[in-house]
Amino acid sequence: MSGAQYSKKQDLLKNINRRGFLLRASLLSSGIFLQGCLRKLHPKSAYKDIKGEIKGPNAKAGHLLRDKSPIAPPSHSHSVETLIIGGGIAGLSAARWLKKNGYKQFELLEVEQEVGGNSRSGKNATSSFPLGAHYITTANLHDKELIEFLHEHKVISHFENNLPFYNPYFLVFDPEERLLINGQWQEGLVPDFGVPENDKKQIRSFLALVEELKKAKGTDGKYAFDVPLDNSSADSEFRQLDKISFQSYLKDKGYTSPYLLWYLEYCCKDDFGQKLQAVSAWAGLHYFAGRKGIAANAEENSVLTWPEGNGWLVERLASSVKEHIRGSSLAYEISETANGKMQVLVLDPETDKVSAVIADKVILTTPQYVTKRLLRQFERPNFHYDSLSYAPWVTATITVNGMGSTKGAGLSWDNVAYNTPSVGYVNANQQHLQTNENKKVLTYYLPLCDYQPQVSRLAAYSRSYEQWLDMIIPELEYMHPNITEMIEQMEVWLWGHGMISPTVDYIWGGNREAGSAPIGNKIFFAHSDLSGISIFEEAFHQGIKAAKQLLES
């Protein structure tokens, strides 16, 4: 992928892209600004009873990193053998692994007050709720490390005939999913109600295809698609699928049904925050074929979830390493000292106090767009930061005191409407045992994938709270007529870099591999963006892999 000519071409492309980006971005944000002015003429209007505001990851910290504003010299410093930077799933998993293997000389820095990253959760009077990631599926049987972790925390209570028996309180309660299609809520998300026979045929054919791919193995005897994806077969028959988009793959295979394509696009939006044309075919198929977790007491790939979503898993991961965690600590620069140690400058975003940590080794579990700033003084050979694409997301935590009645299937855990911008909402109360609750907390997920991520991200940051309501509520109203008056509160969460997108050629194109290489046995990397797929399992294994590299070094 290297070579002078290619780079030049890339630079040229970049320039064109850049100009286009600026044009689109300015058009879009001035549009939003104008609309915002108009909006002010009719302040709040129908939404005046809805309380809430825009929230998001610590923006101040993010800007400090990007703009590199002058920061005072460190007031004090201390030493530690190993420093883990980042308290998302990868960081916590690395910490857990170190501790589990008897290694205690480490500290974990997290910029937010709470660890968890995308898997953080919140709580109000009605329920706990996820802010981002909200489920895992039953683990692949051969994924010993994950199964061990789940067993450790009684997600798996015991084994029957060598199959894990999952805690029934954590398996998603029925009804699991429903789809609003052709005027009615149907059970399940695969389009069915009112779908013509020809489309159903294509849907069946695709599902049969991925069922085959689930079992398929490459010439090296490994599964074609596996979790973590690094365990997948190197067989080029499969890996070459990373070089084309999922959209062209489907076209080549003759899949034309709008219902099928909608469903697949929904899946890509749901897991990757991107549309069919923007993700690789390998990644698109991995969504269906990678997970093959069977259980003694549940169907294959059953969902495991909690009212607080993956916040529950965060709590369990962190439980064994609590005393090693330092919140509100923004690492913003790493340098090598004269005697070969790592000096990490750390700022407390609340107090603006700066300190230095001198570490022998560092595990960097920050996303690469942050890592880029931290490692200004280091080379990562052959790794191109800028070819990583992150999907911006908006999630909304919505507290409702009723939902009205709907035609067809009743409120489920996951609720999606056909052909709408969002990927629907999940009901945090689903896993509650109470029989009678009028109030619910819904988490609504909207991937911002209509434009290039940079454009969408910029546009997202320029929207006001009322403008988000203008975008979200009409869709909710479409799903549930008259729900507006039942909305008590809506917190809008903006995730500028919500998740890595497995763009064409990213997973197997070599960049990922380059980015995963430790620097001089001193800096190790772990993050789901180095997997290319933003799921708990990948981040979990990223953390373990980095911890193992460190312990072996």
The residues binding another protein (CB under 8 A) are 168-169, 171-176, 297-298, 302, 410, 433-438
Cβ contact 325:194 at 8 Å? no
Residue with tokens 């480490």: 106
Give the residue with the Cβ less far from another protein, 41 or 125: 125
Give the shortest CB-412-to-another protein separation in angstroms.
9
Give the residue with the Cβ less far from another protein, 339 or 435: 435
What is the separation of C-alpha 220 from the centre of its chain, rounded to a whole number of angstroms? 30
Residue 306 CB-density burial (10 A; 0-12 exposed, 13-18 middle, 19+ buried): buried
Give the shortest CB-174-to-another protein separation in angstroms.
4
Any residues with CB less than 8 A from the CB of 283 and at least 6 apart, and which? 242, 246, 272, 502, 507, 532, 533
Give the shortest CB-89-to-another protein separation in angstroms.
24
54-55 and 487-500 strand pairing: parallel
Helix (H, G, I), strand (E, B) or coil at 93: helix
Helix axes 465-479, 4-41, angle to 10 degrees: 90
Give the shortest CB-304-to-another protein separation in angstroms.
10
Give the residue with the Cβ less far from another protein, 40 or 154: 154
Distance CA 166, CA 144 (A): 15
Give the residue with the Cβ less far from another protein, 440 or 512: 440
From the CB of residue 102, how many other CB atoms can be counted at a distance below 10 Å? 7
Residue with tokens 């793959």: 249
Give the residue with the Cβ less far from another protein, 329 or 429: 429
Give the shortest CB-182-to-another protein separation in angstroms.
22
Give the residue with the Cβ less far from another protein, 31 or 168: 168
Give the shortest CB-343-to-another protein separation in angstroms.
51
Residue with tokens 């994950």: 146
Give the shortest CB-189-to-another protein separation in angstroms.
16
- Cα atoms found within 13 Å of the Cα of residue 281, Cβ hemisphere only: 20
Residue 205 CB-density burial (10 A; 0-12 exposed, 13-18 middle, 19+ buried): middle
Give the shortest CB-427-to-another protein separation in angstroms.
11
Give the residue with the Cβ less far from another protein, 158 or 204: 158
Give the residue with the Cβ less far from another protein, 295 or 364: 295
Q: Nearest CA to 515 among 551, 542, 497, 544?
A: 542
